[in-house]
Chain A
Amino acid sequence: AQSVTQLGSHVSVSEGALVLLRCNYSSSVPPYLFWYVQYPNQGLQLLLKYTTGATLVKGINGFEAEFKKSETSFHLTKPSAHMSDAAEYFCAVSEFPGNNNDMRFGAGTRLTVKP
């Protein structure tokens, strides 16, 4: 089955600094990749997704991610962190075509933004 590894369970940046959250995936077929954000006591909200086409994907709140097949990576970036970006971020992978309709998530990265 497909799987996701997120490097770094906690990342701390200063306000205005670059945000880089790392995600590597394992999949036997071309993957669909997703980044979600979770604010305290809430469900997950989609930030962006890659299915096919352009490998650089732009999402909400100024985030973007690049699908690199050769590196099996889908790292999330934002040029300038804002205090409101403090949350937990999850990378996820889904396989298609295939027999699986399930989506698998990484362990999450908690982002802290310092003033």
Chain B
Amino acid sequence: DVKVTQSSRYLVKRTGEKVFLECVQDMDHENMFWYRQDPGLGLRLIYFSYDVKMKEKGDIPEGYSVSREKKERFSLILESASTNQTSMYLCASSLGQGRTEAFFGQGTRLTVV
């Protein structure tokens, strides 16, 4: 079975902190994604990566950056956390070219206080 693992289920951080959310997949997938999920807004794409060291902005990249140094790992970075970044963050991976479904991690519920 494909496994996408997010490093934390729950996280509480202070305003202004630099926050790292880590995601690892074990199926050699080319694509990896970070979404945030908010009630009534569904999943909004923050960034995606289609290869090592390659990244593309999604719909809401402001305030975030990403890193993909190895194929299996995709990190989301909040440079200076703010309260409006309190949300559920979901990582996903898929094979290339959009042919197949994305496999999701369990999510990280981040609270910024």
Chain A residues within 8 Å of B, Cβ to Cβ: 6, 9, 32, 34, 36, 41-46, 49, 51, 90, 92, 94-98, 100-108
B7 proximity list for chain A (CB < 8 A): none
Contact between A43 and B98 (Cβ–Cβ < 8 Å)? no
Contact between B42 and A102 (Cβ–Cβ < 8 Å)? no
Taking A34-B101, A42-B106 as known contacts, 19 extra A-B pairs with beta carbons closer than 8 A to each other, sorted by chain A number, are A34-B102, A36-B104, A49-B100, A90-B42, A95-B98, A97-B97, A101-B48, A101-B50, A101-B97, A102-B33, A102-B48, A102-B56, A103-B33, A103-B45, A103-B94, A105-B35, A105-B43, A106-B42, A108-B43
Q: Of A43, A94, A97, which is within 8 A of B107 by CB?
A: A43
Give the number of residues in B that approach A within 8 Å (Cβ atoms).
Answer: 31
Total A-B contacts with CB atoms under 8 angstroms apart: 71
Which residue among B42, B50, B58, B96 has the maximum number of chain A CB atoms within 10 Å of its CB? B42
Contact between A96 and B35 (Cβ–Cβ < 8 Å)? no
B33 proximity list for chain A (CB < 8 A): 102-103
